[in-house]
């Protein structure tokens, strides 16, 4: 790893690192916040996966998570949303290619050589974080929009790796949305049977979750039709899944919305990560 920057923040440290990724085949960048409690021992970890067009930096600088993480003694990890660089395939559209990795492993060219974000988050970056920083094995995961999709699908498929789960305005039914069908066709091919493992509503119905789930959705979200929160609510009802799905009146899809409820989500995870309850 190479240190890019380090800043004192709420008596903790917000750092940014780059490292060579064997999984993605290029250098990757991530942010990590260590609360002041990490100076005296290992702390639990909350992962935040960002949405379309974002980098590691958006939530790190606009989400307001660090103050709450310092209060509750939780580390924060902010991965990038895709591989980057001259060798990485891209598309002119904002919702495909660089900045739009969708937290899956691409099986189709030209994306396959580098777009392996599922393995990057679940295996490579987790192992790096676990080995290089004072953190426990108690990990929670959250995210916004495309990152909410990533948080839900990754956690549902890896319940032994994550003890707590939440999301902000997630894309919960991408196999039935233009934010999903386009990307799945490009990254995974046209066989829709392969898409199900990346659809949170389908996964919830098939696998369930070992604890409760928190989802906040802005009621004035301009992308509501693409997010399809009703599909996840229906799946939770049919599964009889313990979940809190809050429709927040007046809020849209922006980081003004995310930052307004960041404290609720950090506390939600901290309560479950500290006690081991999930």
Are the CB atoms for 103 and 118 separated by under 8 Å? yes
Cα–Cα dist 166/201, whole Å: 14
Cα–Cα dist 130/154, whole Å: 17
Dump strand ranges (E) for 219-258: 243-248
Q: What are the catalytic residues?
A: 145, 221, 253
**Which residues have CB under 8 Å from 256's CB, separation 6+?**
none
Residue 41 token pair: 């021992």
Alpha helices in 110-208 (DSSP H): 117-119, 126-132, 146-157, 178-188, 200-207
């Amino acid at each position: 790893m190479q240190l890019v920057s380090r800043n004192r923040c709420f008596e903790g440290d917000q750092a940014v690192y780059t490292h060579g990724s064997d999984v993605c085949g290029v250098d990757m960048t991530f942010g990590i916040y260590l609360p002041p409690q990490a100076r005296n021992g290992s702390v639990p970890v909350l992962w935040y996966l960002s949405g379309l067009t974002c980098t590691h930096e958006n939530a790190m600088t606009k989400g307001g998570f660090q103050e709450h993480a310092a209060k509750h003694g939780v580390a924060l990890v902010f991965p990038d949303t895709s591989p980057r660089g001259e060798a990485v395939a891209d598309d002119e559209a904002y919702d495909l290619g660089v900045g739009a990795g969708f937290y899956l492993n691409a099986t189709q060219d030209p994306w396959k050589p580098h777009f392996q974000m599922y393995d990057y988050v679940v295996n490579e970056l987790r192992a790096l974080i676990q080995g290089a920083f004072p953190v426990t094995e108690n990990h929670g995961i959250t995210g916004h929009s495309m990152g909410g999709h990533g948080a839900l699908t990754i956690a549902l498929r890896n319940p032994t790796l994550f003890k707590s789960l939440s999301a902000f305005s997630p894309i919960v039914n991408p196999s039935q949305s233009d934010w999903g069908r386009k990307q799945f066709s490009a990254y995974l091919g046209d066989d829709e049977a392969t898409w199900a493992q990346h659809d949170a509503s389908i996964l919830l119905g098939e696998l369930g979750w070992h604890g409760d789930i928190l989802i906040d959705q802005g009621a004035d979200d301009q992308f509501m039709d693409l997010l399809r929160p009703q599909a996840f609510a229906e799946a939770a009802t049919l599964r009889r899944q313990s979940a809190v799905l809050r429709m927040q009146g007046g809020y849209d899809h922006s980081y003004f919305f995310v930052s307004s409820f960041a404290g609720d989500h950090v506390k939600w995870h901290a309560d479950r990560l500290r006690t081991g309850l999930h």
